[in-house]
Chains A and B, each alone.
Chain A
Amino acid sequence: MSDQRLFAAALLDPDAPCPAGLIAWNGSDPARRFAVYRNNVVVSLIDALADTFPVTLELVGEEFFRAMAGVFVRIAPPGSVLLVEYGAGFPDFIERFEPARSVPYLADVARLERLRVRAFHAADADPISPERIARALANPERLPTLRVTCHPSLSVLRSDYAVASLWAAHQGHGDLAQVDPFVPESALVVRVGLDVQVIALPSGGDALAAGLADGLPLGQAAALALAASEDFDLTAQLAMLLRVGALTALAQPTET
């Protein structure tokens, strides 16, 4: 094994011996000094996860979160030097983490927080201009074939739990005690200007936004939404998507 491979393995394994060949000027046990590196690595990566998943942390408390994150860091250190990408696998890990089973919605709240970070750093794009919208609406018979480009920051999270309400309650919106976590919710995550918003979607709203994001023509995405909920209000949901700037281009298949 190479020197750095031994050093690296010992960084993440608290039971591994201190790597051979390390010395101190006073002949003291180098393990105590090596522990500084071990601590820097694990603590800084736990801190990075705490930054990305603040509501997840609040839901279980700092001590539990840091212990859970420490287990994750040791089995799944970052695979990229871009720390902003770290933690993509953390929600799936939480879902399988036995001590967190008593908080069944924890993994989905973590998924929502991960999507927020992704949205924060996603590419910039201008919303559709009012003129372009007016042109599209001037030909209502062609609306079903209209293709919509969603903002690069946009994503939809469908959950068996009240993810959007739980998240909002931790931002000071609404009373956490009044949130029933076992009500299924879908959330739209999108950056509006410089701020990432989490918007609870009504039944069918998830199908519309996800369908558009997948590149379906407006008619097909609307049909999916109406199939999911017969009182789905297509006009209101489209207006909401336009208002927050979630849509960035409109095109008919014949247009370039």
Chain B
Amino acid sequence: MTMQFSHGSSARGAPVRRTHPDGLPDRAGLGLKPQHFAEILATGPDLGFFEIHAENYLVAGGPFHHYLRRIRDRYPLSIHGVGLSIGAEGPLDATHLDRLAALLDRYEPQSFSEHLAWSTHGGAFFNDLLPLPYNLATLNRVCDHVGQVQERLRRRILLENPATYVEFAASTLDEAAFITEVVRRTGCGLLLDVNNAYVSGVNHHRDPQAYIAALPLSEVGEIHLAGFAEDRDAAGAPLLIDTHGAPIAAAVWELYAFALERLGPTPTLIERDNDIPPLPVLVAEARCAERWIGSARPDRLEVSA
């Protein structure tokens, strides 16, 4: 009989992440961009998975489905929603949920995730992830909506922590406590966006390490890494903007290493949605993430008993 013991990990605390056998592999993946479709099929880069924005693929036919089908046949897939508006005051859009359910049935992704944010109001869509006050009223609403989404999609979803630029006088909970309670009540998982944790930490003068440590890390199913832009607030303090338009910053890589020490190996997406570079540039960033994932792998010692 062969047993496996985790060694070395105890010094930094045993990884706490619960893994799911049907989930994404503990490797790095890339956001799938139309300008890279043909090159991906031609060169087959060695990546753990691809991630798509669900809303871009809610179309009847044409090249998007043509290429996604072929790429899905070769790679694990994460579907990431940007339009469910889970934090909205109004009810969820049942038609949109039906469309998402059909997309998930069609491509059978290893993961589906959405955002702790709102993006619609009164029939208008704002194409941005807008912030919420963290209090009992929004907690109840978000939990209701997450529950409805999981019921309709018949699966556990991952909820992503936001990048925010303002805070609310009406908040009574900090963000980590709010997220912890959503995860506890709904059973959803967490998509830990390390860039968002860093951006919000700087913007609100909080310690991003303490923030990550306070999250329910056992429920993290995926990590996002991205680049930001730098601005200033009215008092001249740094204000970071989550643009997905730049390479990942050194400080975010450091925070990623901090998170991996606590999580163990975790599926990690390199997110790039603006100023998209050639595919090899993104593959190189994914390689960098995989080196960190490798170093977070607990040393294993096989013994026979």
Pairwise interchain contact B233-A26, C-beta atoms closer than 8 A: yes
Q: State whether the Cβ of A79 lies closer than 8 Å to any Cβ in chain B.
A: yes
Q: Which of B58, B63, B119, B241 contacts A194 (CB 8 A)?
A: B63
Residue numbers in B under 8 Å from A27 (CB-CB)? 235
Counting CB contacts under 8 A, is A82 at the interface?
yes
Cβ distance A210 to chain B, nearest Cβ, rounded Å: 21
Q: Is B204 among interface residues, defined by CB-CB distance under 8 A?
A: yes
Residue among A3, A8, A29, A124 making CB contact with B62, cutoff 8 Å: A124
B234 within 8 A of A: yes
CB distance from A24 to the nearest CB of B (A): 6
Q: How far is the CA of A199 from the CA of B85 in the complex (A)?
A: 41
B164 nearest CB across to chain A (Å): 9
Q: Does B254 contact A (CB under 8 A)?
A: no
The reply on A191 being an interface residue by CB < 8 A is yes
* Known A4-B89, A26-B235, A81-B120; contact A120-B63, beta-carbon cutoff 8 A: yes
Task: For chain B, give the interface size range.
Answer: 35 or more
Indicate whether A4 sits within 8 Å of B88 (C-beta atoms), given known contacts A22-B166, A29-B234, A84-B59.
Answer: yes
**B-chain residues with CB within 8 Å of residue A37 when the two chains form the complex:** 128, 130-131, 165-166
A120-B63, A124-B61, A191-B62 known; A24 vs B125 contact (CB < 8 Å): no
| Residues on the A chain within 8 Å of B168, using CB | 21-23
Residues of chain B lying within 8 A (CB to CB) of residue A12: 124
- Interchain CB contact under 8 A, B60 and A121: yes
Q: How far is the CA of A48 from the CA of B53 in the complex (A)?
A: 15
Would you list which residues of chain A between 19 and 35 have a CB under 8 Å from chain B?
Answer: 21-34
Q: Which of B121, B203, B234, B239 contacts A4 (CB 8 A)?
A: B121
> Is there an interface contact between B234 and A31, defined as CB atoms closer than 8 Å?
yes
Residue-by-residue, is B125-153 near A (CB-CB < 8 Å gives 1, otherwise 0)? 11110110100000000000000000000
Is the C-beta of B2 less than 8 angstroms from some C-beta in chain A?
A: no
Chain B residues closer than 8 Å to A29, beta-carbon distance: 234-235
Chain A: CB-nearest residue to B123: A79
B233 touches A33 (CB 8 A): yes
Contact status B127-A24, CB under 8 Å: no
Whether B62 contacts A80 by the Cβ 8 Å rule is no
Q: A4-B89, A79-B124, A81-B83 are in contact. Are A30 and B166 (CB under 8 A)?
A: yes
- A residues contacting the other copy or chain, number (CB 8 A): 46
Query: Contact between B62 and A81 (Cβ–Cβ < 8 Å)?
Result: no
Contact B55 A120, beta carbon cutoff 8 Å:
no
Residues from chain A with a CB closer than 8 A to the CB of B64 are 121
Cβ B93 vs Cβ A8 within 8 A: no
User: What's the least CB distance linking A6 to chain B, in Å?
Assistant: 10
Q: B57 to nearest A CB, angstroms?
A: 10
Q: Does A134 sit within 8 A of B, measured CB to CB?
A: no
Asked whether B165 lies within 8 Å of A8 as measured between CB atoms, the reply is: no
Chain B residue contacts of A36, Cβ below 8 A: 165, 231, 239, 241
Which among A38-46, A55-63, A88-96, A135-143 touches the partner chain? A38-46
Q: Which residues of A contact B (CB under 8 A)?
A: 2-5, 7-8, 11-12, 21-34, 36-37, 40-41, 44-45, 48, 77-84, 120-124, 152-153, 191, 194
